[in-house]
Amino acid sequence: MNVTLLSNHDIKISKIPSLTDDEIKSQCRSIISEKAVKNLFINNLKLSILNFDHPLFESSYQKLLRVIDFKEVYISYFLPFFDEIGLLWHTDTINPAHEHFITALIKQKILVNIEKVQGFPPTRHDNHFILFLPENEIHALGLTDTNYEIIRRGYASIYLGQSVPINCLKLFLSYNDKITFITYFTVKPSTDKIPEHINEI
């Protein structure tokens, strides 16, 4: 069971035989402890979303920040929680009000961290990024996080946000000769309009 636990958590099976029994037990305890912390945090997020409990969300988030940075919180805790939100949707446990509540709180944390990294001038000039969502597409959390990652890595970005008409982007074609546009769509355009939307892009 210990070997299975280790191999399921990115420890190469070929390296496990070289570990002593004490090393194996120590690494297993560490993994189990980390999983317990993650489960507790995600359960607290579930409670906060179900009860619209902002103080519970905030206290749980601040506890994590004392031991890991924001990027790790987002990747290791918020992203798995989004999967949990999907399950809550499918079981009719939450409605749009719940989703908007928790999404707004998480987006707020991303924006705070964007502000921190924006205090430093860009260090990389081999590309510029323009981020936008198509008209009537309002699910911007992923775009906001992408903007944070771009700025954190030293690039300049122009964040246009949600529901941007494609023809408004033409002016950027003369803005810089090294531009990458970033977009996605989840609900808009509708399925039958996707080929037309891609052709327009």
111-155 pLDDT per residue, tens: 999 999 988 888 888 888 999 998 888 888 899 999 999 999 999
Same domain? For 19 and 89 the reply is yes
d(CA 1, CA 147): 41
Does 85 score more than 90 pLDDT?
Answer: no
pLDDT above 50 (res 104): yes
Number of domains in the chain: 2
Same domain, 127 and 96: no
113-120 own/partner pairs: CB under 8 Å, 24+ apart: 113/70, 113/148, 114/144, 114/147, 114/148, 114/151, 117/148, 117/151, 117/152, 118/151
Residues 158 and 141 in one domain: yes
Tell me what pLDDT residue 10 has: 60
Instruction: Give residue-wise pLDDT tens across range 22-38.
Output: 777 676 556 545 555 56
Q: Taking the model in full, what pTM does it have?
A: 0.73
Do both 97 and 194 map to the same domain? no
Interior angle at CA 87, CA 93 and CA 80, nearest 5:
125
For residues 23 and 56, membership in a common domain is answered with yes
